[in-house]
Structure 1
């Protein structure tokens, strides 16, 4: 475990409130879902432009 200024990382992480840690988790999840949607949408756009759409 890394020691920063006499404290371990677990001690410094535990100091933040639960709502803040859950907020970051939700923000990262939402950003990943948005990124996945953008990638899927762009792939669908390129495939339809190449004529690979279903009838």
Structure 2
């Protein structure tokens, strides 16, 4: 079990910096996309209920 933990930390330390930034960007993009989709769904439901945005 201890070998696996040390191997994982060694892989993390040896991975290139661009991979870390790629993961960070992917997580950021997924979260922003989720918020946009949720906001548009709420806007659609409000519009379907007869409420207007202006």
Name the TM-score, length of structure 2 as normaliser: 0.76
Q: Which is strand-richer, 1 or 2?
A: 1
Q: How many residues align?
A: 53
Question: Residue 15 of structure 1: CA displacement?
Answer: 1.4
Change (3 A) 1:19 1:54: closer
Alignment map for 1:5-20 (pairs within 5 Å):
7=6, 9-20=8-19
Name the TM-score, length of structure 1 as normaliser: 0.75
Change (3 A) 1:54 1:27: closer
The runs of at least 4 consecutive aligned structure 1 residues that moved more than 6 Å come to none
Structure 1 gap ranges (5+): none
